[in-house]
């Protein structure tokens, strides 16, 4: 792995434009932003717009405007993931040429009886040694060498991909690039050194590390923060009808965000300008306060 430059820190926030920014996303953005700035690093904003059928018209612009309203400042232009399609395709081609990936004709019905594991269905390797032509997905070959990494908040993580998830899709049958491949390529191309994101993506990290190794990329440092759930224990998301973040009382909502990040802002801070709130947050930021936590409940 290439050596890191001393004190270089490049973090990012990468929302998908499938709906408005909700409170859970705001918490993740704030944690990522504060950790980058506390380390005197750059913070990038990337819109992960690689799944058009799921995207909501106008959502990307709404996300950017919401972040601006809440006082986030990112380095450089907003990076739209769809603009990197050529780089994604090149990575897929490289993996195929090296014999590390292969075409797969399996449909969901074909895999209906696949063994189920903690991470979902485990691909049985049906197309691994077949000659497949025509419309197909592309899967990356895996094995059971342990993928191990130390998460800054959740500790030592180990996963054996072949037995726990099997070979996974890097390009879908419809031609769209899969999330794992796209995020790995874009993190490398943007020079991302540190990723702070929700714990719901923790199980995805070993697959991304596998791809990084197969492509000869650097592996960022990871910190997975607790997700925000509603009173039913459901993650705040579009699928659980999570409301968009408040547009009116921005300071109060931002202070509430800091409290979810285990900071203790004074009540009067909710009446301050957002720039003052961020100044206070940066002076008091401690990522370690979230160590070991999995979920935080938003009751209202």
Q: Half-sphere exposure of residue 236, counting CA atoms within 13 Å on the CB side?
A: 26
Q: pTM for this one?
A: 0.91
Largest CA-CA distance found in the chain, in angstroms, rounded? 67
Q: Across-strand partners of 104?
A: 137
Flag whether pLDDT at 245 surpasses 70.
yes
pLDDT-above-90 percentage for the chain:
75
Flag whether pLDDT at 193 surpasses 60.
yes
Flag whether pLDDT at 285 surpasses 90.
yes
Tell me how far apart the alpha carbons of residues 110 and 278 are, in angstroms, rounded to a whole number: 51
Dihedral Cα 155, 160, 164, 168, nearest 10 deg = 110
Flag whether pLDDT at 299 surpasses 60.
no
* Axis crossing angle, helix 250-260 with helix 23-38, rounded to the nearest 10: 70
Q: Across-strand partners of 296?
A: 228
Region 224-231: what's the mean pLDDT?
84
Q: What is the pLDDT of residue 116?
A: 77
CA 119 to chain centre: 17
Closest by CA to 50, choosing from 221, 202, 185, is 185
- Cβ-count burial 71-86 (b if 16+ within 10 Å, e if not): bbebeeeebebbebee
Flag whether pLDDT at 2 surpasses 70.
no
How many other β-carbons are positioned within 10 Å of the β-carbon of residue 198? 19
The pLDDT tens digits of the residues spanning 53-90 come to 999 999 999 999 999 999 999 999 999 999 999 999 99
Burial class (CB in 10 A: 0-12, 13-18, 19+), 155: exposed
Tell me the three state secondary structure of residue 180. helix
Flag whether pLDDT at 98 surpasses 90.
yes
Flag whether pLDDT at 276 surpasses 90.
yes
Tell me how far apart the alpha carbons of residues 66 and 22 are, in angstroms, rounded to a whole number: 10
Domains, the chain, ranges and CATH?
10-83+192-197+226-297 (3.40.50.620)
């Amino acid at each position: 792995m290439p050596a890191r430059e001393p004190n270089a820190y490049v973090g990012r926030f990468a929302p998908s434009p499938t709906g408005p920014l909700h409170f859970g996303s705001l918490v993740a953005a704030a944690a990522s932003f504060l950790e980058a700035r506390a380390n005197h690093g750059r913070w990038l904003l990337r819109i992960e717009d690689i799944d058009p059928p799921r995207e909501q018209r106008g959502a990307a612009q709404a996300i950017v405007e919401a972040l601006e309203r809440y006082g986030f400042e990112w380095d450089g232009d907003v990076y739209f993931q769809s603009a990197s399609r050529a780089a994604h395709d090149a990575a897929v081609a490289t993996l195929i040429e090296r014999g590390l990936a292969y075409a797969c004709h399996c449909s969901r019905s074909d895999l209906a009886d696949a063994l189920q594991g903690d991470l979902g269905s485990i691909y049985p390797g049906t197309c691994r040694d077949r000659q497949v032509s025509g419309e197909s997905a592309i899967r990356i070959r895996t094995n059971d060498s342990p993928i191990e990494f130390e998460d800054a908040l959740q500790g030592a993580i180990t996963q054996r991909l072949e037995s726990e998830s099997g070979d996974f899709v890097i390009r879908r049958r419809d031609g769209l690039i899969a999330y794992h491949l796209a995020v790995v390529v874009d993190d490398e191309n943007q020079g991302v050194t540190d990723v702070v994101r929700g714990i719901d993506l923790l199980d995805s990290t070993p697959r991304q590390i596998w791809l990084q190794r197969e492509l000869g990329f650097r592996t960022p440092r990871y910190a997975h923060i607790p997700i925000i759930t509603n009173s039913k224990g459901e993650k705040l998301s579009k699928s659980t009808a999570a409301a968009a973040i408040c547009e009116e009382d921005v300071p109060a909502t931002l202070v509430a965000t800091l409290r979810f990040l285990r900071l203790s802002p004074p009540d009067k801070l909710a009446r301050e300008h957002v720039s003052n709130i961020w100044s206070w947050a940066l002076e008091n930021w401690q990522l370690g306060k979230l160590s070991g936590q999995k979920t935080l409940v938003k009751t209202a």
